Amino acid sequence: MSTQLKWRSERPKETTKYGIPKDRTYINDNAMAFINFLVNKGIPLEAAFGVAGNIMNESGFNPYNKTDDDYNTGLPSGGLAMWHANRFTKLKKFAKDKGKNWEDIETQMEFLWSELNGNYKNVLAKLKKTTDMNKASYIWGNEYEKFVGYDKWNSEGHKARRQNAAAFKKEYNKRGYNFS
């Protein structure tokens, strides 16, 4: 039987100027629920840590995170994956069609999963085949997020994401979870 963890769906009390929650427990709770979600969908645990490391860099697991001018493009980004421009518009439409607000964390997870089974099914296939946390982090950053510097393994962006993945693995072990 799969484990089900509860999302922290409330708006974080304090955030950095980038929308990252200052409360590490808030971040860790949502990261563990996110990892659990992916594992329950068939993604190996190590790969889920790698993906979580990316989400930490994008939004700090704050589903309310939003910017109106991402990287001075004049285009908005928002949500857990900081979906940009037309992908953010698609998230909002997806939520509206379900009678939900785009800020709803479960709706965002459904949207993420629909992308992985649609335009990003190649990413899903690669993630399901890897048990290397760092490789999964690179796959996600390079093929799903496409953040600034995504195409360079040793970029600061990838290094930070790998460090985040390792921190979530440590937290997972500290909490004594067993999602597999």
11 assigned to some structural domain: no
Amino acid at 132: D
pLDDT in tens, 114-143: 999 999 999 999 999 999 999 999 999 989
7 assigned to some structural domain: no
Number of domains in the chain: 1
Reported as a pLDDT band with limits 50, 70 and 90, residue 1 is: very low
Range of the domain at 166: 24-175
17 assigned to some structural domain: no
Tokens of 115: 């992308």
To the nearest 10 degrees (0 to 180), the angle between helices 156-175 and 24-40 is: 90
The pTM score is 0.92
| CB burial string 56-84: b at 16+ within 10 A, e below | bbbbbbbbbbbbeebeeeeebbbbbbbbb
116 assigned to some structural domain: yes
10 assigned to some structural domain: no
6 assigned to some structural domain: no
Give the domain CATH number at 146.
1.10.530.10
Residue among 111, 150, 124 at smallest CA distance from 44: 124
